[in-house]
Amino acid sequence: DEWLSGDIREDPIGAIEQGASKIDDWLIIATSSEGTVRNGSGDNIKMELKSILRGDYYAPHISIWYYCLDDVREVGDPDMWVKANPNLGKTVSYETYQLDVERAENNPAARNDILAKRFGIPMEGYTYFFTYEETLPHMRRDYWNMPCALGADLSQGDDFCAFTFLFPLRQDEFGIKTRSYITSRTFGNLPSAMAMKYQEFINEGSLVVFEGTTLEMMDVYDDLDKYIIDCGYEVNCFGYDPYNAQEFITRWCNENGSYGVEKVIQGSKTESVPLGELKNLSEDRLLLFDQSLMSFAMGNCIVLEDTNGNRKLYKKRHDQKIDNVAALMDAYVAWKRNKEMF
């Protein structure tokens, strides 16, 4: 009980499962409310269960009941409360919940605890950023000879780097194209199922594999430059995360000029606002991407949210990269700072 809301350092369910497996027909029932203790073993268990719910992997022996409000704004609507507790009106009264809502409004110190335990809303911690519906690709489009903002995330440039092109369209719509690079060593070390997924990206032209153990940034630059010319993209501004980007950016500025080149510092203070705006656009299906790589990157995008609601991207290494979402954010920030160029 309360494996998520307690301050634990080890996985209790895994330990119980090891002991229970010594007998036949064992069953583990693990229940917990949300808590305010974050980034511990409980959060890891919750993220694994969410992965099962999303269909990321098959676990027919695990049944999951997950009750929560979808948004903190629903706290003000009593008709929504039953989503967080199906026993509302039976084992616990609406009056009890109403008293807690009033307490949360008048006692900021108790707010996070009430939102977590009564309504299943974690006010801090890791969460998947995009819903499944938001990751579904749109119909294929081409943006030949159209102006765009380019975003680059080179922070894992030793074996993986990503570029996202953002095309401002009418009525708040944005076209999106991606181009990413990995080494043959990284590709060769992927599990077979993930390698098949990456092969799909290679076939659609959104992923390029370079031979070797590490990526040579000048080779990446040459290929990206050729890709931009072949596609007829007109890059008006360029946003980048400065980590590991000096060599690439120096050449870009030498060949294309430094006007419109924007440094996008990573961190919750600078990421929270553009991430929130991209989330709103995504919910309204205004981010028009048609490549499987972008769909994959959005599906694996995890953000870390603090108690003030500030968000920042959480970067996982190995096979689940979110670099194209980071590059999208960089492109979006560059566009916002240079709207007069479009």
Could you write out the DSSP letters of every residue in 55-67?
Answer: TSS--TT------
Q: Over range 161-178, report the average pLDDT.
A: 95
**What's the confidence (pLDDT) of residue 130?**
87
Summarize pLDDT for 57-69 with one digit per residue, the tens: 889 999 999 999 9
Do residues 289 and 176 make contact, with C-beta atoms less than 8 angstroms apart? yes
Range in 34-38, 41-45, 48-52, 69-73 with the lowest mean pLDDT: 34-38
**What's the confidence (pLDDT) of residue 317?**
47
Which is more confident, 100 or 159?
100
Q: Where in the chain is the domain with CATH 3.30.420.240?
A: 133-341
Query: Which has the closest alpha carbon to 327: 290, 304, 298, 305?
Result: 298
Q: Over range 316-341, report the average pLDDT.
A: 82
**What's the confidence (pLDDT) of residue 96?**
93
Q: 318: pLDDT confidence band, cut at 50, 70 and 90?
A: very low
Residue 123 pLDDT more than 70?
A: no
**What's the confidence (pLDDT) of residue 38?**
54
**What's the confidence (pLDDT) of residue 39?**
53
Burial level of 342, CB count in 10 A (0-12/13-18/19+)? middle
Query: Which has the closest alpha carbon to 272: 338, 333, 195?
Result: 333
Q: How far apart are CA 99 and CA 119, in angstroms?
A: 13
Q: Over range 243-264, report the average pLDDT.
A: 93
pTM (2 d.p.):
0.69
Mean pLDDT of the chain: 87
**What's the confidence (pLDDT) of residue 213?**
87
**What's the confidence (pLDDT) of residue 21?**
84
Q: 196: pLDDT confidence band, cut at 50, 70 and 90?
A: confident
Q: 293: pLDDT confidence band, cut at 50, 70 and 90?
A: very high
Do residues 130 and 310 make contact, with C-beta atoms less than 8 angstroms apart? no
Summarize pLDDT for 59-109 with one digit per residue, the tens: 999 999 999 998 888 998 999 999 999 999 999 999 999 999 998 888 766
**What's the confidence (pLDDT) of residue 7?**
65
CATH 3.30.420.240 assigned to 133-341 = yes
CB neighbours (10 Å) of residue 196?
Answer: 10
Q: How far apart are CA 51 and CA 108, in angstroms?
A: 32
Q: Over range 200-223, report the average pLDDT.
A: 93
**What's the confidence (pLDDT) of residue 203?**
95
Summarize pLDDT for 133-153 with one digit per residue, the tens: 899 999 999 999 999 999 999
Residue 321 pLDDT more than 60?
A: no
Range ranked top by mean pLDDT from 41-55, 240-254, 264-278, 302-316: 240-254
Residue 271 pLDDT more than 90?
A: no
